[in-house]
Amino acid sequence: MPLVTIQDLKVSYSVRGMFRSRSEVTAVDGVSLFVDEHEALGLVGESGSGKSTLGRAVLLLIKPRHGRIVFDGVDMLEAAAHRDKTAIRKFRREAQIVFQDPYGSLNPRMKAGRIIADPMYVHGIKDRRLVKDKVLKLLDLVGLPASAYDKYPFSFSGGQRQRISIARALSIGPRFIVADEPVSSLDISIQAQLLNLFREIQEKQGVSYLFISHDLRTVAFIAQRIAVMYRGRIMELAPKTELITHPLHPYTKLLLSSVPSKDRHPSEQHDQAGGRAEGCVFYPRCTVARDVCMDMGPRLKEVSPGHQVACFLYGQ
């Protein structure tokens, strides 16, 4: 049984327009995925595709409009609706997140040791000596010296701050971590170090990841399977090697043939033209689109073992 199962998840935002009018924007549109125990599932797509919204919704940081989120056999949306404090508390302890921004995700008024220790105190570990000992071990695990314990966030570089964020996420022994673009704001050399750290953590502690990035190469370094997301929907899902060597969806091929530039503003990487609500969301950019693509949205279909694609080129 998978550790995390997402079924037909939908997340919408209410957006205020001109003259105080409001409209609804769908950020995640019927996504179904699963993450096995000890597995890293990569989620890749352009800025604005809904990746971060999906990651936050899985952790109940954003309330979905529809769908199911099953963690270790328990429907967490149902547990939240019934105010099952025991199930929610267990979920909060076993499912953590590492945010993209290492500068904004740490409290500047707290020392690194306290930042890492806080989750342990929140979840009932009161022995200060035990907590400090574990914090020092976590600092060592993420490659920081013991002297970091008594330093404030401003004393660290961006890469070091992200190491503190990772240590905080690990402090209460999670089984599942959402890593939301955790290296995208860092230098290339620092990115490589942190990616190696994520792999080392998985090997040593057996955690499962939902690893989110706009860079397919970054995701491929970490993940065993990769899901490709575009405008709130999953376009393709396959084992890493299969997806890279035999991509099927036109959007996946586009991602593989182009390298996202950090010099471009995120809004320039996102499709501004939009897609027809009743058709394929990639239709306006697709070079092999058919008439049916304008009228109907293809469903995610398995075309070979473990390889799913949402495209009429492969039958529906």
Q: Which of 36-50, 81-95, 261-275 has the lowest mean pLDDT?
A: 261-275
Query: Which of 54, 5, 13 is CA-nearest to residue 230?
Result: 54
The phi and psi torsions of 305 (rounded to 5 degrees) equal -50, 115
pLDDT score, position 277: 55
Between 142 and 186, whose confidence is greater?
142
Query: Residue 274: is its pLDDT beyond 50?
Result: no
Residue among 167, 187, 186 nearest 177 (CA): 167
pTM value surpassing 0.95: no
Domains within the chain, CATH numbers bracketed: 4-314 (3.40.50.300)
Mean pLDDT lowest among 20-29, 106-115, 241-250: 20-29
